[in-house]
């Protein structure tokens, strides 16, 4: 299967899944933006109203972090299970196993496009004007996508080996939610060395902070750090695609017998 055919099939699978998913609900495609908004609302009530968070413009701050995190965590959680959940199709036809997580990721990308549009509207309503720094959104989203692809392919491979890994992945996402500055500001830490450590060791924390710096403060992210994360994610993704190609029959057998 050529790259062009693979990409075309991936897009077709993503679109079909989107239509099927929307048909299950009365509100249909509205859930693309309603679901993440409800997550934001829950966190806003807890941290702003009940705990009286002192973060300036907390709603915008929270949306910049939580909406990106939902894209990251939900895509990886769903893509990690995609091969095993497609065991019926895998038993009938031999197609690249990496196609299933990639199609799931692509489906999430379509949904995230509408979420980002909503975020831009909220920013504009809160007085944040478009600036030249917003051009950094393109490389930020590209690197975010590469991180999701790398994490999803690793997760899908592990879940094929043992479905128990899906539980560890879900718990890992909860760990990242609390340690990556989704609802707290990494830069509010009192120790400058700790700030640098968190941003260096945790790529997701760096990415969430970068989105906020660009959208809320008009400050460009550290380009070298962003490039390193992007290249590292790309290398891991290409490696996992190669591994899945070489171990395709093994993954098919594990998925069918899962």
Tens of pLDDT along 145-170? Answer: 999 999 999 999 999 999 999 999 99
CA 122 → CA 1, 59, 63, 215, distances in Å?
43, 9, 9, 11
Residue 53 clears pLDDT 80, i.e. is over it: no
Transcribe 67-101 into DSSP letters: HHHHHHHHHHHHHHTHHHHTHHHHTT----TTHHH
- Burial, 48: exposed, middle or buried (Cβ in 10 Å; 0-12, 13-18, 19+)? middle
Q: Give exposure, 153-168, as e/b (b: 16+ Cβ within 10 Å).
A: bbbbbbbbeeeebbee
Which phi-psi region, left, alpha or beta, contains residue 57 (left: φ > 0; alpha: ψ -120 to 50)?
A: left
Domain spans of the chain, in order of start: 3-256
Tens of pLDDT along 101-154? Answer: 999 999 999 999 999 999 999 999 888 888 888 999 999 999 999 999 999 999
Angle 21-119-16 from CA coordinates, rounded to 5°: 20
Q: Which of 5-14, 26-35, 158-167 has the highest mean pLDDT?
A: 158-167
What pLDDT is attached to residue 1? 63
| Separation between Cα atoms, residue 19 and residue 109, nearest integer Å | 14
| pTM of the model as a whole | 0.92
Picking from 19-23, 52-56, 249-253, which range would have the lowest pLDDT averaged per residue?
A: 52-56
């Amino acid at each position: 299967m050529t790259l062009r055919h693979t990409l075309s099939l991936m897009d077709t699978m993503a679109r079909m899944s989107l239509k099927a998913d929307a048909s299950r609900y009365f509100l249909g495609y509205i859930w693309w933006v309603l679901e993440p908004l409800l997550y934001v609302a829950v966190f806003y009530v807890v941290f702003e109203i009940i705990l009286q968070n002192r973060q300036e413009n907390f709603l915008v701050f929270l949306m910049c972090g939580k909406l990106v995190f939902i894209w990251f965590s939900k895509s990886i959680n769903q893509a990690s299970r995609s091969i095993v959940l497609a065991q019926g199709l895998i038993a009938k036809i031999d197609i690249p196993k990496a196609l299933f997580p990639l199609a799931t990721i692509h489906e999430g990308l379509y949904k995230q496009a509408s979420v980002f549009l909503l975020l831009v509207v909220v920013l504009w309503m809160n007085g944040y004007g478009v600036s030249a720094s917003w051009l950094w959104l393109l490389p930020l989203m590209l690197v975010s996508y590469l991180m999701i692809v790398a994490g999803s392919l690793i997760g899908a491979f592990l879940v094929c080996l043992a479905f128990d890994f899906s539980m560890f992945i879900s718990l890992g996402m909860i760990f990242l939610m609390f340690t990556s500055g989704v609802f707290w500001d990494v830069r509010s830490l009192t120790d400058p060395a700790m700030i640098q450590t968190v941003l260096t060791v945790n790529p997701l924390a760096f990415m969430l902070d970068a989105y906020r710096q660009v959208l809320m403060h008009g400050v460009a992210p550290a380009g070298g750090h962003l490039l390193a994360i992007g290249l590292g994610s790309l290398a891991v993704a290409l490696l996992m695609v190669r591994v899945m190609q070489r171990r395709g029959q093994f993954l098919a057998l594990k998925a069918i017998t899962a």
